[in-house]
Structure 1
Amino acid sequence: MRQATAARFFKAFSLKTIAAGLIAAVMSLAPTAATAADSRYAAIVVDANTGKTLFSANSNSRRYPASLTKMMTLYLTFEAMKQGRIKKSTPVRFSSQAAAQPPTKLGVKAGKSISVETAIYSLITRSANDSAEALAELLGGSEAGFARMMTSKARALGMEGTVFRNPHGLPNTAQFTTARDMATLGMALREHFPQYYSYFSVRSFTYGKQRIANHNRLLGKIKGVDGIKTGYTRASGFNLVSSVSDGNRRIVAVVMGGQSAASRDRQMAGLIEEYLPKASSRKGGPLVANANNSTIMDVAKAILSKKKAPTPQARPDDDQDAEVAAFVERTEEGRPATKAAAKIAAAETTATAVVEEAYATPRPSVDVDTLKTASVEPSGWVIQVASSPSKAEAAKALEAAARKAPQVLAAASSYTVPYDKDGVTYHRARFAGFDTKAAAWKACSQLKKKDMGCYAVQN
């Protein structure tokens, strides 16, 4: 009797245990399955020693970067530090635009300053949008100028599927990337700036009386994780780039489009657990080309030649020198140490939109806005002040330019022209009516002094 009772007990116990185990297994897989089912989901794991892709899901599909954008803001900050253009102690002044950025933010008032190092810590831990904007204005003169620098640097690093429009990742439908490009950027940050990379592993820092914790919850919880960045907007979902090492093995993993921070972190933990042991323990050479010494003109020429399109025309020397002087004046504490360095920085600030244009397929039709009259795309020299997937936004850019610089554009005719890139239609906002190259460059120089993006091209 006792034996029968014991047999029934252990049988029931065994079934309950098995059932519980199956339920637990299903529950553990549920976040991963749900994340993968989300249309925003993308992921990649790359062996950071060899460059081999160990896992990939939608890794080349276009996604919104959200605050992963700040990885490029930090890349350009580290680059400026390495080149001696700024120091850790250099003041970063907050304009009214920087101070007005929405949370998350550090909360610095307009007109006040913090050090470059404090700005770096605030980007890495709190993901401060106001600090990102202030750094952009310090290094690029304006948000638009810095965004062009970001995009050109992305191209130089081999990030073919990325376009930046702002330094912080706040919603902008024209700003996009891929999981693969974010992995490339993650590897580039470690390879090119090992002297600064330890910033990414800081778990908290003190600002005034505040102790600000790092948003990256995997630091200290998953063995080997040493950074890099989290990100979230409603459109992007929950994003994370992680760098992980175990002895001589190293991977960079990216998860984008998570449904929650917790599910994203679980997905990342699962990828690390599965693929870090499969990474090579042998170190190869550098995996990401170091583009520190290349100017945007070099990049533009390389890309445009592949597209069989004309390279950008060089500006007259007097206009070039004027632009360099304007750039040096704008950047104040962050100005380049030499005129040669200033020319490189000015070129990055003013001409990087050419790179983005190289990836576009022009359309034959022309949409003319209502400010002036033009029935076909004008021939001769024109200037471009914006490019947007929204025709209405492109028209607003024309109106804003006309209001800010009425004398410069008094005799010009404004129009928009569509073009296709990666299946998306964009609209160039342009002004025509410049007789010579010198006149077009001069107009652009004057517009840039009013913090408007601009470059000249000959139709």
Structure 2
Amino acid sequence: MAAALAAAFVLAVQPAQAGRYASIVIDAQTGSVLHAANPDARSYPASLTKVMTLFLLFDELDSGRIRMDSKFTASAHAAAQSPSKLGLEPGETISVENLILALVTKSANDAAVVAAEGVGGTESKFAQMMTRKAQALGMRNTVYRNASGLPDTGQVSTVRDQAILARALIRSHPGYYKYFSTRQFVYEGQPINTHNRLMLRYQGADGIKTGYIHASGFNLISSAKRGDQRIIGVVFGGATATSRDNHMAQLLDKGFAKLRRGGGVEMASAETEAESNDDLPDLDDLEAAAQAAKAPAKAPVLVKPKPASSKKIAMRAPSRAANDDDDDDDAVGDADPAAWAIQVGAFSEYRPAHKAASDAAKKLGGLVSKASIDIDKAGKGKKALFRARISGFTEDQARAACKRLGRAGKSCKPVNPNA
């Protein structure tokens, strides 16, 4: 029966989604595999790419060639990267430490390019350094073409390789790994919160990176430590950020349980997954479908990205197949593109914007139980504008929230992620 149900999933799940799902959990101490599903299927790492960018930055710091207070300058190429970004302007300088913080929290694409150019001279040369490092670490199926993870047809990796990378970083740079635990940092007076929401709620979690482009789905590397045991999990191909996080949490739970039992590798199969994980979110349906269909371990064809632009990119849900033959596949960083927001005002300073959003959240009560305050900064200097927003709604919730605030005489408008 379980195998039949798994086979049925193949009909219900888009082939591109089933084919790009993969996961792995390893023991960080020994490197032994505790769980694996399609571990060597090549796909797109998205912003997990920035883990390697940071690895090379940490190497440079250890060598003494740069320091935390070293200043790198943003080029026009760096400033033109698509969001997520800090909004750096050509000629603007930023410290290495702020680059690190921007990469681990906001997953800023402009910061990634500034780091790449500061170390490698050009982003393309830095990508060659990244690939050589990957080969040296034993990441056999990984090729890097840029420092950010923005769409590139030649930039591919696997969950096994990303687990190898995370383990090597933790072992080689334990002092710098602590940056991945950063929940918030302040840049130019603006607090920036981490995108890694699973880290905030999972017991023992202390990093490391989220990622999303349309062709990859929602990716995640997580590491958690309980007592003297640490495990690392990697998921590729989530349908949403929330389902990916929930799935990872259960994979980590299973990993710790297996360590306690002294168990070895578990290769996911249609039957075992369907029988034992009926209550898991949709990623497990994808896992069962992928195994039942015996999806080939090769990377899909990624659409060609548009030239980088400083214009803010609209966010869209991953509703199309990963190999759709068009060039409308803009990256959106790590935020869930299915999440609506509401805007309750726009201000020239951060503090009143945050107060307006906080006051609105208090009035909304239970409607914001799964939402968060998100102050969106546009422009620089005296022309900067701080949009007071609360994000994390469905469309119906966003419209209901604005209706409630409107009845209270408060300004509010729903913000469509696809607008």
Provide TM-score, normalisation by structure 2. Answer: 0.59
SS in 1 for 2:144: coil
Q: Which 5+ residue runs of structure 2 have no aligned equivalent? A: 263-300, 306-419
Q: Which amino acid aligns with 2:79?
A: A
Larger radius of gyration: 1
C-alpha separation in 1, matches of 2:203 and 2:216: 27
Question: Residue 110 of structure 1 corresponds to which residue in structure 2?
Answer: 90
C-alpha separation in 2, matches of 1:129 and 1:172: 14
Question: Residue 234 of structure 1 corresponds to which residue in structure 2?
Answer: 214
**Number of corresponding residues:** 256
Q: CA deviation at 1:280?
A: 6.2
C-alpha separation in 2, matches of 1:85 and 1:38: 44
Question: Residue 58 of structure 2 corresponds to which residue in structure 1?
Answer: 78
Q: Which 5+ residue runs of structure 1 have no aligned equivalent? A: 1-25, 283-388, 394-459
2:130 to 138, 141, 150: 150
Q: Which amino acid aligns with 1:117?
A: E
C-alpha separation in 1, matches of 2:113 and 2:28: 30
Write out per-residue CA displacement over residues 276-332 of structure 1, whole angstroms, 9 at most, x where no aligned residue. Answer: 1222699xxxxxxxxxxxxxxxxxxxxxxxxxxxxxxxxxxxxxxxxxxxxxxxxxx
1:52 to 13, 16, 32: 32
After TM superposition, the structure 1 = structure 2 runs for residues 141-290 of structure 1, keeping only pairs within 5 Å, are 141-279=121-259
1:153–1:249 Cα change, 3 Å: same
Q: CA deviation at 1:272?
A: 1.0
Contact 1:46 1:55 in 2 (8 A): yes
Identity %: 50
Structure with bigger RCO (C-alpha 8 Å, 6+ apart): 2
C-alpha separation in 2, matches of 1:180 and 1:117: 29
Q: CA deviation at 1:53?
A: 0.5
Q: Is 1:130 the counterpart of 2:110 in the alignment? A: yes
SS in 1 for 2:200: coil
C-alpha separation in 1, matches of 2:253 and 2:174: 25
C-alpha separation in 2, matches of 1:244 and 1:35: 32
RMSD: 2.4
1:268–1:78 Cα change, 3 Å: same
1:280–1:192 Cα change, 3 Å: farther
Question: Residue 17 of structure 1 corresponds to which residue in structure 2?
Answer: none
Contact 1:81 1:87 in 2 (8 A): yes
C-alpha separation in 2, matches of 1:183 and 1:221: 21
After TM superposition, the structure 1 = structure 2 runs for residues 359-398 of structure 1, keeping only pairs within 5 Å, are none
Provide TM-score, normalisation by structure 1. Answer: 0.54
Question: Residue 121 of structure 1 corresponds to which residue in structure 2?
Answer: 101
Contact 1:40 1:257 in 2 (8 A): yes
C-alpha separation in 2, matches of 1:200 and 1:228: 5
Q: CA deviation at 1:38?
A: 2.5
C-alpha separation in 2, matches of 1:35 and 1:71: 29
Contact 2:20 2:41 in 1 (8 A): no
After TM superposition, the structure 1 = structure 2 runs for residues 30-41 of structure 1, keeping only pairs within 5 Å, are 38-41=18-21
Q: CA deviation at 1:165?
A: 0.2
Q: Which amino acid aligns with 1:129?
A: N
C-alpha separation in 2, matches of 1:47 and 1:113: 40
Write out per-residue CA displacement over residues 129-167 of structure 1, whole angstroms, 9 at most, x where no aligned residue. Answer: 000001100100101100000000000000010000000
C-alpha separation in 2, matches of 1:205 and 1:34: 39
Question: Residue 93 of structure 1 corresponds to which residue in structure 2?
Answer: 73
C-alpha separation in 1, matches of 2:132 and 2:260: 31
Contact 1:47 1:280 in 2 (8 A): no
SS in 1 for 2:42: coil
Q: CA deviation at 1:92?
A: 1.2
Write out per-residue CA displacement over residues 347-376 of structure 1, whole angstroms, 9 at most, x where no aligned residue. Answer: xxxxxxxxxxxxxxxxxxxxxxxxxxxxxx
